[in-house]
Structure 1
Amino acid sequence: MWLRGFSSVPIKEKKKWDALVIGAGHNGLIAATYLARGGLTVAVLERRHVIGGAAVTEEIIPGFKFSRCSYLQSLLRPSIVRELELVKHGLKLLKPLCTSFTPCLDGRYLLLWPNDDQNYLEISKFSKRDADAYPRYESQLHKFCKFMDFLLESHAPETLHGDSYLIDWLRDKLHKSVFWTRCLQHALSLGQKDLVDFMDLLLSPTSKVLNMWFEFLVMMEVLNKMMKKAKGAGLLQGFRANGRRDGGVCVSHLLFANDMILFCDAYEEQILHVRMLLLCFQAVTGLKVNALKSEMVPIGEVPNIHILVEILGCRIRSLPMTYLGMPLGASHKSPTVWNPILEKIERRGVHGSGLWRSIHMGWEDFSKNIRFEVGVGDRMKLWTDQCWDVHFTRRRNDWEMGGVDDFLRTLGSNLPPTENGDHLRWKLTKNGDFDVRSFYNKLRSPLPIIFPWKGVWKVKALRRVSFFVWTAVWDIILTGDNLRGRWMDFVDQCIMCRSNGETVDHLLLHCGKAYRLWSLVFRSFGFSWVLLRLVADTLFGGHLRTWRVQMTSFLPFSVALCLTGPGLRDSTLSDVVKATFAADSIIGTMASIHTPGSGYVLLHHVMGETDGERNIWSHVEGGMGSVSLAISKAAKEAGVHILTNAEVSKLVIEDSGIVNGVLLTDGEQFCSSIILSNATPYKTFMELVPQNFLPDGFVRAIKNSDYRSGTTKINVAVDKLPQFKSCRLNYPEVGPQHTATIRIGSESMEQIGSACQDAWNGLPSRTPVMEMTIPSSLDKTLSPPGKHVVGLFTQYTPYKPSDGSWEDPIYRESYAQRCFNLIDEYAPGFSSSVIGYDMLTPPDLEREFSLTGGNIFHGAMGLDSLFLMRPIKGWSDHRTPIRGLYMCGSGSHPGGGVMGAPGRNAAHVVLQDVKKRSR
């Protein structure tokens, strides 16, 4: 075993330490090393018999050494490798020949290389368009990774707690200002378009990110090539920007996020060519060019501008040549330029405002729907309002005086019914209050049809099915319209018959394939039914009460779903490519590829690098335990003391809320005023810290954090190398596909989504999604000659399955065999080659490695638990409510993986606080 009882001196002789670190995982060891280099005496306490935490190598089966939990290296920060001199201490990375290998059951495979040219050929086998887009997609991710480098190596400044001394408070404010200034500088360096894309990546599901980026990059590249070809043919003329040394460059168009600036001469022929080119682009890609939002800007005198605008169907605009009346480019600091402008404004004053005119434009329609109600008469103006004054046309006779008196008494006795003032009342609402909805419904034209709401919502069908039919009636289910809105190309034709345009009525009723399905259903029910022209007409009458008609009312719902399902599946392009990339976004999580925010985990797995190359996940010679071993050697060199089999039972905290040490399970106590916890936030605060020292809100936030995991790690010893029937490169020896990350069960986005849905329903995935690695293909020290170790990182397995228990050996064996049988479909004979295996389910990961919920990241990596929200809001700078207690594990900023950044950042925070106290 690795480093059993590892210590440089008998640690029991010294009980007082400047700092104690709970947990000898990679983050704890890194933090301890930086603290020792900062002049502190440091001890690391590890509960297990071996150091490394999840980054550990263990010989579970005789002769076979497994990277038991973590299995590949890429995320470890280059600054840590450089500063701790880990290469000198024995860290050796083994780069794979290929980065990713996805075998398919239909005989195809996707093999990605570090080389762009080879990747283009591989992706072209599935989609040439995706092959064209992939370099820009990869470049975009790498650009975001550069932006993330700064965040990863900076501790978050935002906290709910503050310093009590003015100088420290000012210094903290200055640090925050510097941090946010640098963040802003890095954000501005991305540019507006890239910044928007970066926010989409953080907020959007992986499925949307991949669809949007790949399809959008392809479409923009198509338009770019079409423009260049038109320019080369002499159909368009741009302008030449002369350079100082050469002949300059000819600019015909500039592409932006969703826009384009086109430069051409003011000739009708060229504008006509532009119109034809845009129509061709629309026909080829299926995207709509919005001419109404397009604008034509003349430069100089263009007498035929109205003819040109009519050809293109756009609007006329002019470039802003002045600002506040001052010409662009003028010396804006000169008083002589500003004085005439200010004098003009002073003379005009507030006159010239057209605000009331624009408000009054809708008064005619608005006034028809209001009435004036008199309350106490406080708003009445007798000289302008229409009032009734009692005037008799002749003198009253004596016998009429009684009637006149009664009349006046009647008027005088009718006082205002309310004590409220006079007010306007809105006629279109019952309460008389104005709302936008009622006025909007009054202004818009009446609906062209009577909506068959009973035929949609009164039918006893599933609510989601009724909702789908409701969208069909409103004509908003067309595949082409929906895909165009997601930057995906689609020709406007029925995807089933490919002979008519796509409309809702044709798709669901009149298409040849749809009609055959309708006829089959009619024969099954034994009656005749004439299909009506519209979907809405078909649904009328579905609310009738007879049994036969009620049965008939289900038919439109059933047939509609049968028709649209295959059509949507057929429209998906290069699913293998997208699923290969999407698999990175679900590693170690319980999230789906359709979960908002899952795009960040996709970026998280691209952040790492090997020898300066991004997205290269390397094996480590000797297994992942060699990473921890190299760090421990650097720690030993700095004077750190490490004790194994030293499990902490609780923290010793003074009544004042200041930490004073730790108590081990064997009763031994170690004293220190500084403690760094490499455990999960839940274990630290719910098990090690007495609850009475923590604020109630803090405790609730820790308990409510997401620690779910869908990961089960299976380490397998095999007697022969797995051979994939779709790819037999270098057969029967080790081929490039064996050194890569092998993706099993990731042939389609639907397959990954279904696997997650099984786990959400409480069941282990029927078709698990697996990352398969064979480290012995590069490292011969891990297994006997001719034999190999195989790592299976499987998704999804719920912590508590609803159909069994992970404590049941038969249940565990059935899941392991399910994974082996799935591999057999791609690599026949794998199951028969298994010598033995070690299986770690979520409860096993929690019990063995103290990973709460079995989550390898110490907590979910969603957007609500990253950066300033990790581990919880207000406590992201590694400090805690307990003075002297710090978090240095993956549950703190910036997150999980064998990265080392949490440990390094936490050590810097501790050293800053020590320096403050010493002043």
Structure 2
Amino acid sequence: MSRCISTLQSLRPSRNLFRNGWNRSVSTSVFGDFQFKGKDASEIKSSYDVVIVGAGHNGLVAAGYLQKSGLSVAVLENRHVVGGAAVTEEIVPGFKFSRASYVLSLLRPYIIKDLKLKEHGFNYYFREPYNSYTPIRDDFWSLPEYPAKSLLLSNKLELSQAEIAKFSVKDAEAYKSYEEEMAKYCKAVTHLIDSRPLNMGDSKKLGLRDRFSQLMPTYRALKALGPSRIPDFHDLLTSPASRILDQWFDSEPLKATLATDAVIGTMQGPRCSGTGYVLLHHVFGGIDGRDGAWVYVEGGMGALSASIAASATGLGADIFTNSKVEQINVQNGKAQGVVLKSGVEIKAKTAVLSGTTPHVTFKQLLTEKSTIECLGSEFLNKIQGIDYTSPVTKINVAVDKLPNFIANPSSSPGKVEPWHIGTIHLNCENMDLLSESYTTCKTSNCPSTQPMIEMVIPSTLDPTLCKEGSHVCLLFTQYCPINPSNGSWESPEYKERYAQTVFEIVERYAPGFINSIVGKEVLSPWDLEQEFGLTGGNIFHGAMGTDQLFWLRPIRTKNCWFPETPISGLYLCGSGSHPGGGVMGASGYIAAQTVLANK
């Protein structure tokens, strides 16, 4: 397939669109070739070996591996475009946005190789020399604990240390040991990430070889740690991120910047137990052998999904968009296929894989009384109890000029400076700000008035997203409840008020930002649920607390060994199954390998 991206030649929309309150929550009908075009539903066959519900990146990965093994595969996607939350859409004319997920690091390297994604248009930009920027608000400049106006961090240790030393020489020296320690933990956890978790069901059904085989990933992880580090690893997994970081550092801007990885996407503050694992989860990735590196996918995250889809279809898989699955058919305790909203029935000879959240799979797609009885009340009660709480509101913004930060003014108008390229952390000067943002939301059940903001500007590196001089700014903000007590996300006025709160904060760091906006989209937790099928708006298909990880994901049960389910022939392949959220592809890979092992 030819590359799935191209430079879009479009005129800038009128600024009056924004000033008149233009705030579309859905995409326009104008699409570039950065998207993968699925087949028309009229071409669906009546029977396949495997039917996959949902064309999120995990479902597409599973399709690629299963089709490669010789099975016939159909992937059915409700929306008009594949990718789930990893999509690129032109929500403002002339501007392409990674609407939900927006940066890449966690995609497993073997998937890139096995499915030959680079041959199918997958390309990316490393964020160098700095991948993180924390400007200090001007009212902090006079305080002794803020001797510098900003903090830049890099994948190159010496550059990070030089920046950290502006705040604390001691922290700069400790940073090397911290990075080395985290790298060892990352090496250990990857053995668990890439393998099916331990069987917590009836192990009597397993032969001696199978029992030994399933213990090997845990053995390798413990061996990589070494006996002396096992207690420290347990401490990391269960502790608040604040306690971990306090043990290493004194500088508040450094601790707060690192802590954003511990709370991103989770309704917890840095002082909440278990956020230590979330911190680790966001640093074990890397691209092209560069550990911990995060990249911008050329053409946006949808171009990655398009490359996976192109690989799968090149192997022979059929992928259909605008094909909503209404029901998974089950007979005599076995998944037999699916029924579309249109009434079309598709049989699955070997397996049905669901890339939806566990709630959607078990509570919405399995509707027959006999099937519900087969699952059992205890199992369904545990499914009902999964935590899907989300703090995230994503705001996608089109601007006609690059933000100019007063902490580091640009040397000339519109010039891309090193600090524009990485993730920009706002309201992150200290841990108290992060903690207060969380606690005020939690206690009031209202969006934070001082939200934590992660801002990225991928157009600083990727010219395919908009025309020269313009930029796309992606604002990942929290904390926001899905059902706030002071209003409703269904109200355009309510969303507008929150957006203005966020924009006013950005304006304080980069005066002129508000006037540069030519269009926007606000995706609250409610919108993320409605638009992308993310239960509760949770970007991970379920919270990533230690009570919902590894063999506890999505639930602890004796009924089955996930990604298998109590329904024979039905598997979970989305992020709601081990190893969880992020654009990893591992859940899809593990599901495919499990199907093949059970053939």
Normalized against structure 1, the TM-score is what?
0.59
What SS does the aligned partner of 2:55 have? coil
Alpha-carbon contact 2:90-2:96 (below 8 Å) kept: yes
Alpha-carbon contact 2:38-2:319 (below 8 Å) kept: yes
Partner of 1:698: 379
Partner of 1:666: 342
Give, in whole Å, the separation in 2 of the partners of 1:646 and 1:5: 13
Once the two structures are TM-superposed, the CA of residue 193 in structure 1 deviates from its matched residue by: 3.4
Taking the TM superposition and a 5 Å limit, the aligned residue runs for 1:560-579 are: 573-579=250-256
What SS does the aligned partner of 1:853 have? helix
Partner of 2:190: 149
Check if 1:129 corresponds to 2:170: yes
Alpha-carbon contact 1:729-1:737 (below 8 Å) kept: no
Taking the TM superposition and a 5 Å limit, the aligned residue runs for 1:54-65 are: 54-65=85-96
Partner of 1:229: none
Partner of 1:40: 71
Partner of 1:742: 424
Check if 1:653 corresponds to 2:335: no
Alpha-carbon contact 1:7-1:642 (below 8 Å) kept: yes
Partner of 2:157: 116
User: How has the CA–CA distance of structure 1 residues 180 and 731 changed in structure 2, closer, same or farther, with 3 Å as cutoff?
Assistant: farther
Instruction: Report the AA paired with residue 276 of structure 2.
Output: G
Alpha-carbon contact 2:184-2:224 (below 8 Å) kept: no
Once the two structures are TM-superposed, the CA of residue 192 in structure 1 deviates from its matched residue by: 3.2
What SS does the aligned partner of 2:67 have? helix
Once the two structures are TM-superposed, the CA of residue 876 in structure 1 deviates from its matched residue by: 5.1
Instruction: Report the AA paired with residue 578 of structure 2.
Output: H
Instruction: Report the AA paired with residue 388 of structure 2.
Output: Y
Once the two structures are TM-superposed, the CA of residue 184 in structure 1 deviates from its matched residue by: 2.4
Partner of 2:225: 190
Check if 1:104 corresponds to 2:145: no
Match of 1:642 among 304, 311, 319: 319
Once the two structures are TM-superposed, the CA of residue 590 in structure 1 deviates from its matched residue by: 0.6
Give, in whole Å, the separation in 2 of the partners of 1:182 and 1:847: 37
Once the two structures are TM-superposed, the CA of residue 877 in structure 1 deviates from its matched residue by: 2.8
Partner of 2:199: 158
What SS does the aligned partner of 1:800 have? coil
Taking the TM superposition and a 5 Å limit, the aligned residue runs for 1:612-631 are: 612-631=289-308
Q: Percentage identity across aligned positions?
A: 46
Give, in whole Å, the separation in 1 of the partners of 2:216 and 2:198: 12
Alpha-carbon contact 2:390-2:482 (below 8 Å) kept: yes
Check if 1:887 corresponds to 2:572: yes
Give, in whole Å, the separation in 2 of the partners of 1:584 and 1:20: 35
Check if 1:817 corresponds to 2:494: no
Match of 2:124 among 85, 93, 104: 93
Instruction: Report the AA paired with residue 120 of structure 1.
Output: Q
Instruction: Report the AA paired with residue 189 of structure 1.
Output: A
Give, in whole Å, the separation in 1 of the partners of 2:74 and 2:53: 9
Give, in whole Å, the separation in 2 of the partners of 1:176 and 1:693: 27
Alpha-carbon contact 2:192-2:217 (below 8 Å) kept: no
Once the two structures are TM-superposed, the CA of residue 83 in structure 1 deviates from its matched residue by: 0.9
Taking the TM superposition and a 5 Å limit, the aligned residue runs for 1:436-447 are: none
Match of 2:462 among 776, 779, 794: 779
Instruction: Report the AA paired with residue 636 of structure 1.
Output: T
Match of 2:43 among 11, 31, 48: 11
Give, in whole Å, the separation in 2 of the partners of 1:695 and 1:814: 45
Q: After superposition, give the CA deviation of every residue in 1:736-762 in whole Å (9 maximum; x if it has no partner).
A: 111110001111100000110122120
What SS does the aligned partner of 1:627 have? helix
Taking the TM superposition and a 5 Å limit, the aligned residue runs for 1:576-595 are: 576-595=253-272
What SS does the aligned partner of 2:253 have? helix
User: How has the CA–CA distance of structure 1 residues 109 and 4 changed in structure 2, closer, same or farther, with 3 Å as cutoff?
Assistant: closer
Give, in whole Å, the separation in 2 of the partners of 1:791 and 1:780: 16
Taking the TM superposition and a 5 Å limit, the aligned residue runs for 1:226-265 are: none
What SS does the aligned partner of 1:33 have? helix
User: How has the CA–CA distance of structure 1 residues 122 and 157 changed in structure 2, closer, same or farther, with 3 Å as cutoff?
Assistant: same
Q: After superposition, give the CA deviation of every residue in 1:696-744 in whole Å (9 maximum; x if it has no partner).
A: 1110001011001000000000010001010135543001111110001
Partner of 2:25: none
Alpha-carbon contact 1:8-1:636 (below 8 Å) kept: no
Alpha-carbon contact 2:40-2:321 (below 8 Å) kept: no
Alpha-carbon contact 1:204-1:598 (below 8 Å) kept: yes
Give, in whole Å, the separation in 2 of the partners of 1:704 and 1:728: 49
Give, in whole Å, the separation in 2 of the partners of 1:627 and 1:43: 19
Match of 1:27 among 44, 53, 58: 58
Alpha-carbon contact 2:104-2:295 (below 8 Å) kept: yes
Give, in whole Å, the separation in 1 of the partners of 2:462 and 2:72: 37
Instruction: Report the AA paired with residue 131 of structure 2.
Output: T
Check if 1:207 corresponds to 2:242: yes
Taking the TM superposition and a 5 Å limit, the aligned residue runs for 1:514-913 are: 573-654=250-331, 656-673=332-349, 674-690=351-367, 691-728=372-409, 730-732=411-413, 733-761=415-443, 762-874=445-557, 875=560, 877-913=562-598
Structure 2: unaligned runs, 5 residues or longer: 1-30, 142-148
Alpha-carbon contact 1:715-1:790 (below 8 Å) kept: yes
Instruction: Report the AA paired with residue 584 of structure 2.
Output: M
Alpha-carbon contact 2:284-2:291 (below 8 Å) kept: yes
Instruction: Report the AA paired with residue 47 of structure 1.
Output: N
Partner of 1:460: none
Alpha-carbon contact 1:712-1:839 (below 8 Å) kept: yes
Give, in whole Å, the separation in 2 of the partners of 1:681 and 1:146: 29
What SS does the aligned partner of 1:782 have? coil
Instruction: Report the AA paired with residue 659 of structure 1.
Output: A
Instruction: Report the AA paired with residue 194 of structure 2.
Output: E
Q: After superposition, give the CA deviation of every residue in 1:155-207 in whole Å (9 maximum; x if it has no partner).
A: 123142568xxxxx343x42232332442243133223322221111010010
Once the two structures are TM-superposed, the CA of residue 617 in structure 1 deviates from its matched residue by: 1.0
Alpha-carbon contact 1:35-1:911 (below 8 Å) kept: yes
Partner of 1:363: none
Q: After superposition, give the CA deviation of every residue in 1:38-79 in whole Å (9 maximum; x if it has no partner).
A: 111000000000111000000011000000000001000001
Alpha-carbon contact 2:404-2:410 (below 8 Å) kept: no
What SS does the aligned partner of 1:110 have? strand
Which structure shows the bigger proportion of residues in helix conformation? 1
Instruction: Report the AA paired with residue 273 of structure 2.
Output: P
User: How has the CA–CA distance of structure 1 residues 208 and 779 changed in structure 2, closer, same or farther, with 3 Å as cutoff?
Assistant: same
Alpha-carbon contact 1:56-1:623 (below 8 Å) kept: yes
Q: After superposition, give the CA deviation of every residue in 1:576-611 in whole Å (9 maximum; x if it has no partner).
A: 110000011111111111111111110011011022
What SS does the aligned partner of 1:672 have? strand
Normalized against structure 2, the TM-score is what?
0.89
Structure 1: unaligned runs, 5 residues or longer: 164-168, 216-572, 915-919
Give, in whole Å, the separation in 1 of the partners of 2:35 and 2:53: 17
Taking the TM superposition and a 5 Å limit, the aligned residue runs for 1:295-444 are: none
Once the two structures are TM-superposed, the CA of residue 104 in structure 1 deviates from its matched residue by: 0.3
Computed over aligned residues only, the root mean square deviation of the Cα atoms, in angstroms, reads 1.5
Give, in whole Å, the separation in 1 of the partners of 2:383 and 2:513: 43
Instruction: Report the AA paired with residue 180 of structure 1.
Output: L
User: How has the CA–CA distance of structure 1 residues 43 and 182 changed in structure 2, closer, same or farther, with 3 Å as cutoff?
Assistant: closer
Once the two structures are TM-superposed, the CA of residue 6 in structure 1 deviates from its matched residue by: 1.4
Give, in whole Å, the separation in 2 of the partners of 1:5 and 1:671: 23
Q: After superposition, give the CA deviation of every residue in 1:227-273 in whole Å (9 maximum; x if it has no partner).
A: xxxxxxxxxxxxxxxxxxxxxxxxxxxxxxxxxxxxxxxxxxxxxxx
Give, in whole Å, the separation in 2 of the partners of 1:583 and 1:5: 36
Give, in whole Å, the separation in 2 of the partners of 1:176 and 1:593: 38
Partner of 1:245: none
Alpha-carbon contact 1:867-1:876 (below 8 Å) kept: no
User: How has the CA–CA distance of structure 1 residues 789 and 170 changed in structure 2, closer, same or farther, with 3 Å as cutoff?
Assistant: closer
